[in-house]
């Protein structure tokens, strides 16, 4: 009786865990995947994530199911009295199968990932414009080809000036670190890239719609780490041109144009 | 008087713990040293858990001000350092120190005094690390201590980093001593008949772990020594003017194998426990051993998968990606062999067996999320986010901690002579299983939504509900650990007397008394397979150690 109650309890527990994972998508605010990407490289990452999810979910359901079956079927209380289990020491065929099948699966995942890697993670040179993003304790400075500078000095609330790009424009991003290592991450656009002192890192974006997206620094960089908020805004070309003019006018109106805007780390 | 050679002997379980302090301080008995390792580990677990509770309180609501950002950074660093260096690794060294010599039929470790020195370096290491708190603040750059954040230019207000670096150097030396000792013991002191192909899988796991720590302990110490040179003597190894990424290479060349140092002994325990309670021999003994060595080799070739965002050549990234994914193959072999061992079994769901199945159910999730993280493009999204925090806790909590509990419930009767209370154990398991999954399952989604790890607070209201659920669940884990501590203390005093072989074991530790005498065996039993005790019981040759005549 007690054994049966325990069996039921075990079933409910393991079942609930499985259900919780599979039903993540249904609960508001709890997402099983990244935000909908707005840049092709982000889209490729999203697709790779989906590709991995197919075997991952099958293996998850299969193995948890097998565990549940073992828990329910092979407990001593469910076996006939005096049952002596077969003394099996192994089975070469089975063992080869569960070596080769996972091997094939991970090789497929690795090749799929490598295609995306070669496609999206090489430094590009066909960009339509480029921006240098420099991280410091605690904020980001964006220097455009045309002389515009956006200074996202960090605040926790994230009320920082946006880093503005035109839509449907291939923008090359160059990352620099001036003090410690920072990492620039806007999940809706693409993955993160580290801003490391000593060498330049590269990434790119090509946003397909107007709008505003948030991100923040992903590499612990000191007490102000959580204030290194990011806003990226994509505008139509005409709005963008106007924004550039406003920025340049404001810059020339300022009495002391900031030649080297990054504050010294002290 | 009857002419019998059987002498009455004191009930050993009455005096396991209550020994004069001088004995604890000077003992070279591997069992007492093992107990001290384990107690140190459990105390660290409690301390590290308290840090985690403060962290969770701080994150339970947006813009919370339970602690300030600088204190928060010290807390997350202390949580990681305590759990990884002072709890899991130390506890597992302890349980191996206790069990390995007995399981191979040895009287003690090969170098008992090195064992004593190696253990006493651990409190030195722990005291060094916590001393940092009294110098204006301990390490505040995360447990990985990435340069240049740990360099003098950015961390000059305290000696926390210096004390941490010194602590890890001492810790690495202690680990290298223990590993050398384990390997020598297992090579040289096996009982007659205990061929390598008859070693219990827990002992094989300890061989693998020792090889890993022996190889990667030195690079860790090297990284710390170079960092100290930078901080104290003005060198430029990892500074803003130097090569910060070199630090990451050195650290992760240690850091990734360290993950396996913390899980392989657990794999070993699972391989011991399932056959006993399923009443079946382990399925695929040879492939289990080969899988262990596959993991040992692969784990030393994957370190840069922690660095996919620093900007490496894509072919280099491909190498580290594929090596990382290949680890799924030997790990999968172990998983399938465990399930096959239980299949057709007659399984008794004792508390240790519940923890074994809890481990398999949760570790699987950690393994699968590991595949996502190994894929370079996907990793650039998930890296340094709460997805990684969830993943690593599925591996180290769902993995290591569940196996540690399984091992403790399994071997506590041998170590103390008394059973852990079953009812409290059931409560311990279910509260831990529910609390753990409640804490870490939905944490994956925070990372997917863009919450980076190691942020002291956040303004985004969309993350509030999830974080509150996580914090509430984390207190259920704390409650579970409290039940466990109560169970250990109560059972050690007045638990049910276990007898020598309460579970019907297969291996040699169950062939001696509980607890074993200082010399472990009156007479080392014959070994004919990897289940020597079962062979003796089956053939009727087994002699109760209580009734065995004392050696002349």
Task: Indicate the pLDDT class of residue A33, thresholds 50, 70 and 90.
Answer: confident
Q: Mark yes or no for CB contact A63/B279 under 8 Å.
A: no
CA quadruple B470, B473, B475, B480: dihedral sign:
negative
Task: Indicate the pLDDT class of residue A255, thresholds 50, 70 and 90.
Answer: low
Question: Cβ contacts of residue B59 below 8 Å, gap of 6+?
Answer: B457, B458, B467, B470, B471
| Test mutation, A218, A227, A229, A266, chain B, max B CBs within 10 A | A218
Any bridge partners for residue B347, and if so which? A75
* pLDDT of residue A208 exceeding 80: yes
* Cis amide bond preceding A138, omega within 30: yes
Angle at B121 between CA B118 and CA B125, to 5 degrees: 140
Q: Are B304 and B318 in contact (CB under 8 A)?
A: no
Q: Does B394 touch chain A (CB under 8 A)?
A: no
Of B13, B177, B185, B31, nearest to B98 by C-alpha is B31
Q: Which of residues 202-221 of B touch A (CB under 8 A)?
A: none
- What whole-number distance in Å separates Cα of residue B261 and Cα of residue B256? 9
Of B345, B349, B454, the CB nearest to A225: B454
* Cis amide bond preceding B148, omega within 30: yes
pLDDT at A26: 39
B252-288 confidence digits (pLDDT tens): 999 999 999 999 999 999 999 999 999 999 999 999 9
pLDDT at B85: 97
CB neighbours of residue B316 within 10 Å: 12
Place of tokens 């490598």: A114
* pLDDT of residue A10 exceeding 70: no
How many cross-chain Cβ pairs, A to B, lie less than 8 Å apart?
305
**DSSP summary character for residue B310:** S
Of B133, B191, B189, B193, nearest to B163 by C-alpha is B133
Percentage, residues of chain B above pLDDT 90: 87
- What whole-number distance in Å separates Cα of residue B22 and Cα of residue B217? 31
Q: Are B42 and B412 in contact (CB under 8 A)?
A: no
Q: Does B475 touch chain A (CB under 8 A)?
A: no
Task: Tell me the mean pLDDT in the region A228-245.
Answer: 96
Calculated CA dihedral for residues A156, A158, A163, A166, nearest 10 degrees: 150
Task: Tell me the mean pLDDT in the region B234-243.
Answer: 92
pLDDT at A257: 45
Task: Tell me the mean pLDDT in the region A129-138.
Answer: 96
Residues of A in contact with B452 (CB under 8 A): 185, 216-218
Task: Indicate the pLDDT class of residue B550, thresholds 50, 70 and 90.
Answer: low
* pLDDT of residue A100 exceeding 70: yes
| CATH of segment(s) B27-547 | 1.20.210.10
Out of A28-42, A47-61, A145-159, B459-473, pick the least confident: A28-42
Percentage, residues of chain A above pLDDT 90: 77
Of B316, B403, B314, nearest to B353 by C-alpha is B403
Task: Tell me the mean pLDDT in the region B541-545.
Answer: 80
Percentage, residues of chain B above pLDDT 70: 96
pLDDT at A260: 46
* pLDDT of residue A24 exceeding 50: no
Structure tokens at A23: 């039903």
pLDDT at B551: 52
| CATH of segment(s) A129-253 | 2.60.40.420
Q: How far is CA B347 from CA A74, B350, B428, B465, in A?
A: 6, 9, 20, 40
Q: Mind giving me the DSSP string for B63-85?
A: T--SS-HHHHHHHHHHHHHIIII
Task: Indicate the pLDDT class of residue A23, thresholds 50, 70 and 90.
Answer: very low
pLDDT at A20: 46
* pLDDT of residue B9 exceeding 70: no
Q: Mark yes or no for CB contact A214/B450 under 8 Å.
A: yes
Q: Mark yes or no for CB contact B346/A76 under 8 Å.
A: yes
Q: Mark yes or no for CB contact A9/B430 under 8 Å.
A: yes
pLDDT at A22: 44
Polymer length of chain A: 266
B57-68 confidence digits (pLDDT tens): 999 999 999 999
Question: Cβ contacts of residue B230 below 8 Å, gap of 6+?
Answer: B147, B151, B152, B236, B237, B238, B239, B242
Question: Cβ contacts of residue B53 below 8 Å, gap of 6+?
Answer: B474, B475, B478
Helix (H/G/I), strand (E/B), else coil: B496 = coil
Instruction: Compute chain A's Rg from CA coordinates.
Output: 26
Quote the minimal CA–CA distance from B5 to chain A in Å: 38
Q: Are B260 and B295 in contact (CB under 8 A)?
A: yes
pLDDT at B5: 45
Q: Which of residues 345-384 of B touch A (CB under 8 A)?
A: 345-349, 354, 357, 360-362, 364-365, 368, 371-372, 375-381, 383-384
pLDDT at A18: 44
Task: Indicate the pLDDT class of residue A254, thresholds 50, 70 and 90.
Answer: low
Closest-approach residue (CA) in chain B for A21: B441
**DSSP summary character for residue B202:** H
Closest-approach residue (CA) in chain B for A23: B442
Q: Does B62 touch chain A (CB under 8 A)?
A: no
* pLDDT of residue B240 exceeding 80: yes
Max Cα separation, chain B? 87
Average pLDDT over chain A, rounded to an integer: 87
Quote the minimal CA–CA distance from A42 to chain B in Å: 9
CB neighbours of residue B13 within 10 Å: 19
Indicate the pairing of strand A229-235 with strand A193-195. unpaired
- What whole-number distance in Å separates Cα of residue B413 and Cα of residue B495? 9
**DSSP summary character for residue B300:** T
Any bridge partners for residue A173, and if so which? A131, A203
Task: Indicate the pLDDT class of residue B525, thresholds 50, 70 and 90.
Answer: confident
Helix (H/G/I), strand (E/B), else coil: B253 = helix
ipTM here: 0.92
* pLDDT of residue A8 exceeding 80: no
Closest-approach residue (CA) in chain B for A7: B349
* pLDDT of residue A204 exceeding 50: yes
- What whole-number distance in Å separates Cα of residue B108 and Cα of residue A193? 52
What residue ranges do the domains of chain B occupy? 27-547
Q: How far is CA B252 from CA A19, B361, B394, in A?
A: 35, 28, 19
SS (H, E, C) chain A: CHHHHHHHHHHHHHHHHHHHHHCHHHCCCCCCCCCCCCCHHHHHHHHHHHHHHHHHHHHHHHHHHHHHHHHHHCEHHHCCCCCCCCCCCCCHHHHHHHHHHHHHHHHHHHHHHHHHHHHHCCCCCCCCEEEEEEEECCEEEEEECCCCEEEEECCCCCCCCCEEEECCCCEEEEEEECCCCEEEECCCCCCCEEECCCCCEEEEECCCCCEEEEEEECCCCCCCHHHCEEEEEEECHHHHHHHHHHHHHHHHHCCCCCCCCCCCCC
Question: Cβ contacts of residue A50 below 8 Å, gap of 6+?
Answer: A33
What residue ranges do the domains of chain A occupy? 2-78+92-120, 129-253
Task: Tell me the mean pLDDT in the region B491-520.
Answer: 91
B92-107 confidence digits (pLDDT tens): 999 999 999 999 999 9
Closest-approach residue (CA) in chain A for B530: A89
Q: pTM for the full model?
A: 0.92
Rounded to an integer, what is the distance from CA B176 to the centroid of its chain?
A: 16
**DSSP summary character for residue B517:** P
Task: Tell me the mean pLDDT in the region A221-230.
Answer: 95
- What whole-number distance in Å separates Cα of residue B203 and Cα of residue B104? 8
Residues of A in contact with B535 (CB under 8 A): none
B300-357 confidence digits (pLDDT tens): 999 999 999 999 999 999 999 999 999 999 999 999 999 999 999 999 999 999 999 9
Indicate the pairing of strand A171-177 with strand A129-136. parallel
**DSSP summary character for residue B86:** I
* pLDDT of residue B392 exceeding 50: yes
């Amino acid at each position: 009786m007690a054994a049966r109650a325990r069996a039921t309890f075990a079933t409910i527990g393991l079942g609930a865990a499985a259900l919780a994972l599979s039903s993540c998508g249904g609960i508001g605010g709890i997402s099983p995947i990244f935000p909908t990407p707005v840049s092709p490289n982000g889209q490729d990452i999203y697709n790779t994530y989906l590709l991995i999810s197919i075997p991952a979910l099958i293996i998850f359901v299969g193995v948890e199911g097998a565990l549940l079956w073992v828990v329910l079927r092979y407990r001593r209380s469910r076996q006939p009295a005096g049952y002596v289990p077969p003394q099996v020491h192994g089975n070469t065929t089975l063992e080869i199968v569960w070596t080769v099948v996972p091997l094939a699966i991970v090789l497929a995942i690795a090749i799929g990932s490598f295609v995306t890697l070669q496609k999206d993670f090489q430094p590009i040179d066909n960009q339509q414009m480029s921006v240098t993003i420099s991280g410091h304790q605690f904020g980001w400075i964006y220097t455009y080809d045309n002389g515009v500078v956006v200074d996202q000095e960090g605040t926790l609330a994230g009320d920082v000036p946006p880093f503005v790009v035109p839509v449907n424009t291939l923008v090359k991003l160059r990352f620099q670190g001036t003090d410690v290592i920072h990492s620039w991450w806007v999940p809706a656009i693409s993955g993160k890239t580290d801003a490391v002192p000593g060498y330049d890192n590269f990434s790119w974006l090509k946003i397909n719609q107007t709008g505003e997206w948030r991100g923040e620094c992903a590499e612990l960089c000191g007490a102000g780490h959580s204030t290194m908020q990011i806003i990226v805004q994509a505008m139509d070309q005409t709005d963008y041109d106007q924004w550039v003019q406003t920025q340049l006018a404001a810059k020339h109106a300022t009495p002391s144009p900031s030649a080297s805007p990054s504050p010294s780390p002290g | 008087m009857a002419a019998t050679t059987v002498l009455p002997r004191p009930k050993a379980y009455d005096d396991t713990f209550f020994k004069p302090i001088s004995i604890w301080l000077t003992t070279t008995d591997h069992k007492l040293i093992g107990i001290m390792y384990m107690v140190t580990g459990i105390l660290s677990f409690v301390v590290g858990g308290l840090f985690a509770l403060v962290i969770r309180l701080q994150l339970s609501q947006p813009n919370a001000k339970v602690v300030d950002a600088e204190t928060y950074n010290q807390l997350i660093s202390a949580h990681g350092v305590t759990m990884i260096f002072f709890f899991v690794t130390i506890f597992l060294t302890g349980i191996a120190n206790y069990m390995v010599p007995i399981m191979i039929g040895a009287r003690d470790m090969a170098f008992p005094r090195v064992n004593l020195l190696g253990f006493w370096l651990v409190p030195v290491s722990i005291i060094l690390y916590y001393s940092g708190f009294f110098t204006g603040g301990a390490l505040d750059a995360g447990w990985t201590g990435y340069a240049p954040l740990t360099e003098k230019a950015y961390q000059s207000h305290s000696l926390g980093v210096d004390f941490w670096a010194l602590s890890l150097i001492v810790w690495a030396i202690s680990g290298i001593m223990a590993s050398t000792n384990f390997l020598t013991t297992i090579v040289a002191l096996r009982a007659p008949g205990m061929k390598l192909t008859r070693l219990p899988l827990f002992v094989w796991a300890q061989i693998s772990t020792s090889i890993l720590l022996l190889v990667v302990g030195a690079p860790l110490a090297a990284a710390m020594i170079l960092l100290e040179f930078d901080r104290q003597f003005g060198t430029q190894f990892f500074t803003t003017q130097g090569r910060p990424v070199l630090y990451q290479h050195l650290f992760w060349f240690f850091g990734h194998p360290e993950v396996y140092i913390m899980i392989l002994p657990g794999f070993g325990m699972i391989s011991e426990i399932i056959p006993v309670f399923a009443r079946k021999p382990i399925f695929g003994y040879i492939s289990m051993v080969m899988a262990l060595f596959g993991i040992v080799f692969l784990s030393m070739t994957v370190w840069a998968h922690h660095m996919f965002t620093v900007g490496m050549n894509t072919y280099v990234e491909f190498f580290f990606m594929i090596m990382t994914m290949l680890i799924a193959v030997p790990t999968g072999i172990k998983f399938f062999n465990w399930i096959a061992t239980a299949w057709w079994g007659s399984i008794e769901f004792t508390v240790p067996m519940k923890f074994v199945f809890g481990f398999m159910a949760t570790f699987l999730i950690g393994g699968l999320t590991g595949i996502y993280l190994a894929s370079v493009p996907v990793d650039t999204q998930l890296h340094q986010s709460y997805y990684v925090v969830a993943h690593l806790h599925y591996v180290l909590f769902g993995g290591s901690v569940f196996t540690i509990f399984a091992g403790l419930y399994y071997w506590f009767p041998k170590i103390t002579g008394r059973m852990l209370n079953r009812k409290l154990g059931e409560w311990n398991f279910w509260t831990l299983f529910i609390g753990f999954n409640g804490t870490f399952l939905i944490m994956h989604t925070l990372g997917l939504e863009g919450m980076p790890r190691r942020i002291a607070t956040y303004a985004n209201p969309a993350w509030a509900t999830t974080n509150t659920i996580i914090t509430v669940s984390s207190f259920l884990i704390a409650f579970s650990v409290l039940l466990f501590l109560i169970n250990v203390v109560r059972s050690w005093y007045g638990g049910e007397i276990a007898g020598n072989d309460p579970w019907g074991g297969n291996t040699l530790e169950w062939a001696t008394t509980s607890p074993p005498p200082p010399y472990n065996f009156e007479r080392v039993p014959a070994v004919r397979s990897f289940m020597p005790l079962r062979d003796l019981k089956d053939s009727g040759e087994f002699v109760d150690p209580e009734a065995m005549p004392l050696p002349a």
